[in-house]
């Protein structure tokens, strides 16, 4: 079922969503299509990405993209722009965790480097590749997916938490660099969301979140989509360089 975000209108907006074949990425894709956008789904899960594109019809198109591959990122972004004749928005959603449940002294350098490559270097390079297309749009929008784990210091998740803290800092610098070209850059920091990718998280951590939120219930993908969609609209043009926690009040700025 598509999330209901019919109050947000994105008719004709051309948006690339990385990691768009499942979880929050899939929720963003479905909500964007419902709001009238034309979407490029990118991922390394090719069968799932293509199946989602086929299901959504003419409003969606799948482009393979590995966020650990610098050349592939540039090629993928350019292919996405070529398909729709430009880009109005980029959602840097793709990420890996890989460090969950491990003390920091148990992490390998290879794991650390891979998490940083996908979660930090990938969004940087995707944004660089998308910048000319977003500037040509006249109202380009970048939304980076951070995480509230970097706001409260989640333990035993060091590589992921560090990468999402870097995404927040990068968002602010990007906003200043790209603002003169009419491009806004913001980050959304969800809390622990019930999706396929969080199935590994122990129930005790889910309970910790539920009890610590001002809104005491599980966080679902549809709790995040409306915020992301708003930041992709033309109406959000004076909001930039911000990190918006969307976590039911678990962390409050």
Q: In this predicted structure, what is the pLDDT of residue 202?
A: 76
| Residue at 203 is within a domain | yes
| Residue at 3 is within a domain | no
Model confidence over 155-208: pLDDT tens digits? 999 999 999 999 999 999 999 999 999 999 999 999 888 887 777 777 887 888
Q: Strands of 89-92's sheet, edge to edge?
A: 60-64, 38-43, 14-18, 89-92, 141-145, 184-190, 243-246
Mean pLDDT taken over the chain: 94
* Domain count along the chain: 1
In the set 160, 200, 209, 238, the catalytic residue is 160
Can you give the pTM of this predicted structure?
A: 0.94
Structural tokens at position 87: 């880009």
Q: In this predicted structure, what is the pLDDT of residue 1?
A: 40
- Is 160 tagged catalytic? yes
CA distance 122 to 116: 8
Judged against a pLDDT cut of 80, whether residue 4 lies above it is answered with no
**Nearest in space to 52 (alpha carbons), one of 96, 2, 7:** 2
| Residue at 116 is within a domain | yes
Contact status, residue 132 vs residue 148, Cβ threshold 8 Å: no
| Residue at 19 is within a domain | yes
Model confidence over 80-123: pLDDT tens digits? 999 999 999 999 999 999 888 899 999 999 999 999 999 999 99
| Residue at 6 is within a domain | no
Distances from the Cα of 78 to the Cα of 58, 127, 136, angstroms:
19, 11, 13
Q: What is the CATH number of the domain that holds 68?
A: 3.40.50.720
Judged against a pLDDT cut of 90, whether residue 5 lies above it is answered with no
Range of the domain at 159: 14-246
Q: In this predicted structure, what is the pLDDT of residue 20?
A: 97
| Residue at 36 is within a domain | yes
| Residue at 251 is within a domain | no
Q: In this predicted structure, what is the pLDDT of residue 149?
A: 94
């Amino acid at each position: 079922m598509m999330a209901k975000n019919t109050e947000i209108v994105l008719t004709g907006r051309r948006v690339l969503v990385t990691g768009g074949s499942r979880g929050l990425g899939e929720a963003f894709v479905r909500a964007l299509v419902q709001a009238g956008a034309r979407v490029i789904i990118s991922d390394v899960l090719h069968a799932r990405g293509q199946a989602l594109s086929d299901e959504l019809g003419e409003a969606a198109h799948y482009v393979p993209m590995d966020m650990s591959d610098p050349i592939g990122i540039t090629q993928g972004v350019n292919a996405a722009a070529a398909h729709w004749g430009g880009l109005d928005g980029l959602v840097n959603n793709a990420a890996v965790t890989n460090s969950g449940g491990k003390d920091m002294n148990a992490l390998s350098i290879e794991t650390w480097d891979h998490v940083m490559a996908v979660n930090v270097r990938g969004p940087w390079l995707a944004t660089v590749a998308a910048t000319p297309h977003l500037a040509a749009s006249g109202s380009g929008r970048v939304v980076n997916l951070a995480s509230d784990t970097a706001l409260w210091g989640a333990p035993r998740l060091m590589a992921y938490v560090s990468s999402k803290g870097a995404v927040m800092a990068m968002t602010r610098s990007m906003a200043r660099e790209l603002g003169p070209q009419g491009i806004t850059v913001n980050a959304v920091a969800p809390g622990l969301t019930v999706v396929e990718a969080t199935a590994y998280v122990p129930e005790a951590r889910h309970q910790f979140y539920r009890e610590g939120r001002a809104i005491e219930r599980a966080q679902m993908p549809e709790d995040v989509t409306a915020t992301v969609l708003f930041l992709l609209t033309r109406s959000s043009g004076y909001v930039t360089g911000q990190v918006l926690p969307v976590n039911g009040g678990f962390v409050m700025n």
